[in-house]
A and B are shown apart, each in its own frame.
Chain A
Amino acid sequence: MSPVTDWMLLSAPLLLLAAMGVVLMVLSAVMRPMPRTLFWGLACGTVALSLGLVARSAGEPASDAFAGMLRVDAYGHFFACAVLLGGLFALLISDGYMDRIGVRVGEFYSLVLFALCGMLGMVYSSDLMMTFIALEVMSIAVYTLCAIKRADERAVESAFKYFILGAFSSGILLYGVAMVYGATGTTSLTGIAHFLAASHGDVPRLLLLGGALLLVGFGFKVASVPFHMWAPDVYQGAPTAVTALMATGVKAASFAAFGRVVIGTFSEDASHWAGGLWWMAALTMLVGNVGALVQDDLKRMFAYSSIAHAGYLLMALSSVTTAGDTHPALGSLAFYMLAYTLMNAGAFAVLSQMTDEHGADATHIDRLSGLGKKHPMVALGLSICLISLAGLPPTMGFVGKFYLFSAAVGAGQLGLAVVGAVGAAAGVYYYLRPMIYMYMRDGEPELASDGRARVALAITTALLLAFGLMPGSVLEWADASVRSVLG
């Protein structure tokens, strides 16, 4: 296919996001002070339109674009939907929130669009070089977004920490890419898969080393143990709207790229990867869940919870890698990712309304006391998200966890499933604790009345319940999407 049709058809959402990012950048330079509603509307409209474009092309057959740099397939479409949904919800809560914390810069929306563009690049990329560049586009935009409240020392400090560690991990990832290239002579994921298939288990050591470094690099991006140290500080320090984007879009995009590399390419050489993934998954589930138990700040608790969920997703990745084509529930990875995106988006929609009169975050768990009486609808929405996160019926989180664990058992990963079940049991405690505060304690909770954040909460809870009760079609789509990478 010629580059022109590639641009027009296959990468339309990418192009749209990048173009609108540039437009907003220019507008924010000339329109001062920023007309908030216009910027917010343009950004939301662009993301919604991209989501529509992705959803429209979801049924089309897979095709390569740009000489194999991108692979536009069901897997990509599924994760692109998750990413864009996360982005859309983060934008919905960001207008009111950013105004409350006193950050009124148009570049915020421009950077969010660029970050989403980078995420889509990661999701569709089928070449390690493209994956790396897209990952950097996303990361640099997100580093900046974390520090965008410049007056807040803690935010800037955590953003700086994130930047330094992130740059380091990008370096490690790139080193890994270079070694993989050195061993195989190609950065194309299909090329590497062919190389592995032809080597019949006799894998060059350089490729193993490169693979190990890739594992570290991706492990950092998805916040898995032992590369998770940055997550609690950064999640807590960053503005809540940005944390929401990190917990949904960044996570989904990183897992999409990670999954494409592991499932699509290195599953040819599963024996060397399975061990590392196994340990990473087990440790991540344990450390995340245990860490979350003792947190009193909700944002910090959600950071540990996001580590724990990275563990569950790694378990799915590990079981798909070991079982391959014969896997009973291939789609569990993709399905759980979507569920995770929705439940976090809903929870952060509530957290974003917890700001004090000085524009600082007030997300201590005490502040939820009495919420059930004063704002019953918000409390109900948050409860549904928390129930879903804990993995209890009748929500999407329950269906997701059910498939995840049955997939792990089906793939013979009994040990991992046991570790995960212990972690999930701990999860029930810390996810239900906020509900005890909301319904069983008295207090005067102060919640900013943010209509758009409540719309986001309403949509996510509705989707969580709908997909929890009728998961069939989404699950089928998730299955088909992961199958499309297996080739």
Chain B
Amino acid sequence: MSESVLFYLFSFLAVLAGLSVVMQRSPIASALSLVVCFFALAADYALLDAHFVAVVQVLVYAGAIMVLFIFVIMLLNIREPGPTPFGLISRRGLLGIGVAALLGVGLIAGLDGLVHRPAPELPEGYGTIHNIGEQLFSDRYLLPFEAVSLLLTVGMIGAVVLAKREV
């Protein structure tokens, strides 16, 4: 029981932080809200017995990627835009809100039939590093795992080709 209370608490926090990411005017504040969102998600993962994913979420997302984000924002030296009059939402903003609302309604309607189903029993060793390693390196997910390394290589080559001072 207490677990599900915690789960909802962290989920709520994640949603709040997510809203804050898109509504903050200063990019740094947005980025820091994103850190909060990532931590809350990590807590949710841990509560769902996905311990490895939770740790990786903190290490990779909240740690490495966010540091990079904040570095870039500071390097770019984006000036905070001046305050806009209250209640003024651009047409594009309205469109975004509309699409998000549509998706949200769809998601709630879609989840309707699923939440009342009893959760299935977790298999033995679920979420352990042993199990994940086995899945990744010998079983079903060997090919996607290797393909992701190719994806990273391509991304790296692309970044170097486009950003290097002279080719």
Contacts and interface: CB of A to CB of B under 8 A. Distances in A.
A136 B151 contact: yes
Contacts of A130: 143-144, 147
B157 interface: yes
B120 to A, nearest CB: 9
Interface residues of A, number: 45
B152 to A, nearest CB: 10
A205 B110 contact: yes
Contacts of A67: 139-140, 142
Given A105-B167, A107-B161, A111-B154, A129 B144 contact: yes
A212 B155 CA distance: 28
B88 interface: no
A202 to B, nearest CB: 10
A9 to B, nearest CB: 14
Residues of B contacting A: mostly: helix
A332 B144 CA distance: 31
Interface stretch (A139-147, A245-253, A336-344): A139-147
Interface string A101-142: 000010100110010011001000001011001101100110
Nearest to B158: A144
Contact of B110 (A110, A111, A179): A179
B110 A208 contact: yes
A212 B107 CA distance: 12
Nearest to B120: A185
A150 B162 CA distance: 7
A114 B167 contact: no
A140 B161 CA distance: 12
B151 A133 contact: yes
Interface string B121-152: 00000000000000000111111100110110
B158 A18 contact: no
A3 B138 contact: yes
Contact of B157 (A65, A136, A144, A206): A144
A12 interface: no
Given A110-B157, A140-B158, A183-B114, A70 B143 contact: yes
Interface in A55-76: 65-70
A140 B110 contact: no
Contacts, number: 98
Contacts of A144: 154, 157-158, 161-162
Interface of B: 106-107, 109-114, 138-144, 147-148, 150-151, 153-155, 157-158, 160-162, 167
Nearest to A138: B154
The 4 lowest CB-CB distance pairs between A and B, nearest first, are: A144-B158, A206-B110, A66-B143, A205-B110
Interface of A: 3, 6, 11, 18, 22, 25, 65-70, 105, 107, 110-111, 114, 117-118, 121, 127, 129-130, 133-134, 136-137, 140-141, 143-144, 147-148, 150, 179, 182-183, 204-210, 212
Contacts of A127: 144
Given A150-B167, A205-B112, A140 B155 contact: yes
B154 A133 contact: no
A114 B143 contact: no
Given A3-B142, A130-B147, A209-B106, A137 B112 contact: no
Given A130-B144, A144-B158, A182-B114, 5 more contacts: A111-B158, A118-B154, A130-B147, A150-B167, A204-B114
Nearest to A144: B158
12 contacts: A22-B153, A25-B153, A25-B157, A66-B142, A111-B157, A111-B158, A137-B151, A140-B151, A140-B158, A204-B110, A205-B106, A206-B113
Contact of B147 (A68, A121, A182, A206): A121
B104 to A, nearest CB: 11
A133 to B, nearest CB: 5
Contacts of B153: 22, 25, 114
Nearest to B138: A3
Given A3-B142, A69-B144, A144-B158, A18 B109 contact: no
B140 A68 contact: yes
Contact of B144 (A107, A110, A133, A150): A133
A209 B144 contact: no
Which one of B110, B142, B147, B151 has the highest number of Cβ atoms from chain A below 10 Å of its Cβ?
B147
A68 B143 CA distance: 10
B155 A183 contact: no
A133 B112 CA distance: 30
